[in-house]
């Protein structure tokens, strides 16, 4: 049911109808939040709900790890990756001017200064991410997220140092990211590695412990972690002698890790979902509210005129007309958005996954940062995901990428049947050179975009939809997405 048009502070009329192009997490979350504000919504997708990168990913809701992809370490591992066909980062050796133009811009952002700037821009929406999932689940989306902890494994302490450094930088930017060592012989949760933002020195393995303090957001307000406590580095024990929160006491070394994994940490305060079923439930909720989801609809262009709405042109079908339109087509965004003034390059960063059986049920996600492999419990099996392959989004599935993932984990897993694989999948994630999404208005009146989240479209999708719907209906750009201006 539509609401009467109102005048926004900018002088425009609030929309009563909207077309959202793309039925993944970002598009459906935007549709749901537009409905929350009284807008009638039609969703168009060329395949179906969760048919793209929203289906086979790891399903991680990890705002504490939602950071820019390009960082200074790129200069260390990228040259090796270009020469190693089994490397987690893969770029096909071929003449492709557009791809190499993207890579040049991507590399230009692999500096500490650029990373810090992008991390500062991502932090405000990172803080909203989990609450946005709770809002969906509390208001009609019949799916839930599952709290961690996430198990982070390394072959030695030296290998752990880059990850610990990344987490310290994320905390320095304003998030709380609880992390603790879980495989110390005496049971103490200790950190060794680079300086933590809350510590005046780099804590030694035998000296610093992670201790509980009330979990608060920067600037006040209690954080929504279920455990109610976080871990910070310091050089002395807490009054409760370093005891972990009750929710974390049972966390131990997963049976699936071999003895080669010698340093194991627990990352708290994050969650995970089964992404395909969750996005499917979100689509059901949009339909239940009266929204229309049209599949098999390939959008070829848009015609927008001030005060006359937007015509969305669909191959072989009549145009769909609405007051506003939102493009949420992931790695395919440039084809429709570039003629509307969105010049930032968007490159498909393709990830691969499959599921396997395990001898012992897996209860929490496992991450192997040095191998760039993310694993999650999925419908009674174990989903293993990895690789960042820069190819076109419609290029064929490359079996060698699955083989590369297998080769990287065989010596680290046990009781995992890597030869009985189901659901082998490739999905194209929309990567921008500067690591920031594209969210907001285009040059065409009434046309908006929501995309370019890279690996973080699942975790940031609901918050993105909420904030963009606010901009569309009120005419005011929320502070959290101002840095994501698609016309930058």
pLDDT at 251: 72
Structure tokens at 200: 């005046």
User: Given pLDDT bands bounded at 50, 70 and 90, which one contains residue 220?
Assistant: very low
CA distance 384 to 378: 10
Phi, psi of 196, deg, nearest 5: -80, 145
User: Given pLDDT bands bounded at 50, 70 and 90, which one contains residue 9?
Assistant: low
Q: What is the mean pLDDT of residues 271-280?
A: 98
Q: What is the mean pLDDT of residues 233-240?
A: 32
Between 198-207, 370-379, 384-393, the lowest mean confidence (pLDDT) is in: 198-207
Q: What is the pLDDT of residues 377-410, one digit of tens each?
A: 999 999 999 999 999 999 999 999 999 999 999 9
Are 223 and 176 contacting, i.e. CB atoms less than 8 angstroms apart? yes
pLDDT at 24: 98
Q: What is the mean pLDDT of residues 110-120?
A: 97
Are 446 and 324 contacting, i.e. CB atoms less than 8 angstroms apart? yes
DSSP for 367-435, written as a single string:
EEGGGTEEEEEETTEEEEEEEEEES-TTSPP-HHHHHHHHHHHTTTB-SEEEEEEEEEEEEEEEE-TTS
Q: What is the pLDDT of residues 407-430, one digit of tens each?
A: 999 999 999 999 999 999 999 999
Single out the residue of 298, 283, 318 nearest to residue 41, CA to CA: 283
Q: What percent of the chain has pLDDT over 90?
A: 77
Phi, psi of 245, deg, nearest 5: -60, 155
pLDDT at 380: 96
pLDDT at 86: 81
Single out the residue of 174, 236, 179 nearest to residue 203, CA to CA: 236
Between 24-28, 84-88, 232-236, the lowest mean confidence (pLDDT) is in: 232-236
CA distance 261 to 156: 7
Q: What is the mean pLDDT of residues 50-78?
A: 93
What's the whole-number average pLDDT of the chain?
87
Q: What is the mean pLDDT of residues 274-283?
A: 98
Residues in contact with 127: Cβ distance below 8 Å, sequence separation at least 6, in sequence order: 63, 174, 175, 217
The 8-class DSSP code of residue 280 comes to: H
User: Given pLDDT bands bounded at 50, 70 and 90, which one contains residue 230?
Assistant: very low
pLDDT at 267: 98
pLDDT at residue 195 is higher than 60: no
Q: What is the pLDDT of residues 432-443, one digit of tens each?
A: 999 999 999 999
Phi, psi of 483, deg, nearest 5: -75, -10
**Global confidence as pTM:** 0.86
The SS3 of residue 8 is coil
């Amino acid at each position: 049911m539509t609401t009467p048009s109102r005048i926004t502070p900018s002088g425009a009329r609030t929309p009563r109808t909207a077309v959202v192009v793309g039925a993944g997490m970002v598009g459906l979350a935007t549709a749901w939040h537009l409905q929350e504000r009284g807008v009638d919504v039609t969703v168009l997708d060329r395949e179906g709900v969760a048919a793209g990168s929203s289906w086979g990913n790891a399903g991680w809701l990890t705002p504490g790890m939602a950071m820019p992809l390009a960082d200074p370490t790129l200069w260390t591992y990228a040259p090796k990756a270009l020469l190693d066909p089994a490397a987690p980062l893969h770029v096909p050796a071929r003449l492709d001017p557009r791809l190499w133009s993207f890579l040049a811009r991507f590399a230009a952002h692999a500096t500490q200064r650029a990373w810090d700037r992008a991390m500062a821009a991502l932090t405000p929406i990172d803080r909203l991410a989990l609450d946005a999932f709770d809002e969906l689940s509390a208001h009609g989306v019949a799916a839930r997220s599952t709290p961690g902890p996430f198990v982070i494994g390394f072959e030695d302490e030296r290998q752990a140092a880059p990850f610990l450094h990344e987490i310290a930088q994320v905390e320095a930017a304003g998030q709380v990211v609880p992390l603790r060592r879980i495989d110390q012989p005496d049971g103490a949760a200790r950190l060794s590695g680079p300086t933590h933002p809350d510590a005046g020195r780099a804590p030694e393995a035998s000296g610093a412990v992670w201790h509980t303090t009330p979990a608060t957001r920067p600037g006040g307000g209690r954080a929504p972690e279920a455990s109610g406590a976080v871990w910070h580095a310091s050089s002395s024990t807490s009054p409760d002698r370093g005891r972990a929160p009750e929710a974390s006491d049972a966390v131990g070394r997963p049976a699936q890790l071999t003895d080669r994994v010698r340093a194991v940490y627990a990352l708290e305060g994050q969650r995970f979902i089964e992404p395909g079923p969750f996005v499917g439930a979100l689509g059901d909720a949009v339909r239940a509210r009266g929204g229309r989801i049209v599949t098999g609809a390939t959008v070829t262009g848009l015609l927008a005129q001030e005060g006359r709405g937007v015509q969305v042109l669909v191959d072989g079908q009549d145009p769909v007309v609405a007051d506003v339109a939102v493009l949420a087509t992931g790695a395919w965004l440039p084809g429709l958005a570039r003629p509307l003034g969105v010049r930032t390059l968007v490159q498909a960063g393709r990830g691969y996954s499959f599921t396997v059986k395990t001898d012992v049920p897996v209860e929490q996600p496992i991450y192997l940062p040095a191998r760039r492999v993310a694993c999650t419990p999925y419908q009674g099996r174990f989903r293993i995901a990895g690789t960042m392959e820069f190819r076109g989004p419609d290029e064929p599935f490359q079996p060698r990428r699955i083989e590369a993932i297998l080769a990287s984990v065989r010596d680290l897993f046990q009781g995992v049947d890597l030869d009985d694989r189901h659901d082998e999948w490739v999905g194209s994630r929309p990567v921008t050179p500067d690591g920031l999404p594209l969210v907001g208005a285009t040059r065409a009146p009434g046309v908006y975009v929501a995309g370019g989240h890279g690996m973080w479209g699942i975790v940031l999708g609901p918050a993105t939809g909420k904030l963009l719907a606010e901009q569309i209906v009120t005419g005011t750009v929320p502070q959290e997405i101002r840095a994501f201006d698609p016309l930058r």
